[in-house]
Structure 1
Amino acid sequence: MTSQHDALFAQYTQSWENKDLPQFLACLTDDIIITECYGATYISKTEAQKWFQHWTAPTENQVVNWEILAKFEDSLKNTDFFNWRFRYVYQNKASVFEGLSQVTFSDNGKITKIKEYEMAFDKTRPYLASK
């Protein structure tokens, strides 16, 4: 199932890059639960659709690139973990952050749950020895 999971998550991220609502919805079960790294939670395909449309409707909002950096899987729980870098423009402000999505798949090959976690893109080295 792992290559199917990879392809489905790639389809999900591409739907954001392309602002493609039908592609987005095709990835999800009707009872999808999506929890953003900011805490917002969308339960059901209807709520997920409203979120997607609200985010993508303004022309200035754009997912510029959603790059998958690494992938890990827990086949016993039908769950994969995707480490990524997310570049976007929201309300005319460009930004980037890194994160991880914990994605659970249904037996019929759709996404049933996503939990997102964020990590700051800019890294610091607070204990780097000074010269």
Structure 2
Amino acid sequence: MDQLEAYIDGWRRHDSAAVLETLTDDCVVIECYGPVYRGKPRVEQWMDAWFGAGGTVDAWEITSRAAAGDVLVAEWHFECTWKGEPGAFDGATVARVDQGRIAYLREYATTAPLYDWTGVWT
């Protein structure tokens, strides 16, 4: 789980080098809203563009985690600011590790606030 925690921590600290250190050279990173970044150079380009445009990761807290073999899974709460607008959502990451680095990482996000269902559809 250390690799996934280090990846998230690098984003929190706005430290591209720390994030890149967690990834294999030929990694695949898939964001929850569709973009796919193939290889460390593309991830670096994405991070430079995102932070360069003023994007900030304001919080990214892991709420649960699990590991099985080379697969890591984490649920989390994410907060950021993009183009001056704060945003937040809950999500999850599924990652695969190869020789101590993340080779594949896919994020999923909730699309609406969570609520306890009462037995009636509203």
User: Could you tell me the TM-score, scaled by structure 2's length?
Assistant: 0.89
Residue 39 of structure 1 is matched in structure 2 by: 34
Q: Distance in 2 between matches of 1:125 and 1:9?
A: 30
1:3 corresponding residue in structure 2: none
Q: Deviations over 1:47-91 (max 9, x none)?
A: 1111111111133x210110000012222xx10111000011111
Mapped contact 2:92–2:107 kept (Cα < 8 A): yes
Consecutive unaligned residues in structure 2, runs of 5 or more: none
Pick closer, same or farther for the CA change 1:11–1:50 going to 2, 3 Å.
same
2: CA distance, partners of 1:47 / 1:58: 16
1:56 equivalent in structure 2: 51
Aligned counterpart in structure 2 of residue 70 of structure 1, from 64, 68, 84: 64
Confirm or deny that 1:80 pairs with 2:80.
no
- The amino acid of 2:71's aligned partner reads T
Out of 82, 96, 110, the residue aligned to residue 119 of structure 1 is 110
What is the total number of aligned residue pairs between the two structures?
120
Amino acid paired to 1:95: G
Q: Which has the larger share of helix?
A: 1
State the distance in 1 between where 2:9 and 2:83 align. Answer: 20
> 1:10 deviation in Å?
1.6
In angstroms, what is the RMSD of aligned CA positions? 1.6
Q: Which amino acid aligns with 1:7?
A: D
* 4+ residue segments displaced more than 6 Å: none
Q: Could you tell me the percent identity over the aligned residues?
A: 23
Question: Under a length normalisation based on structure 1, what TM-score does the superposition of the two structures give?
Answer: 0.84
Distance 1:47 1:56 in 2: 14
Measure, in 2, the Cα distance between the counterparts of 1:127 and 1:120: 20
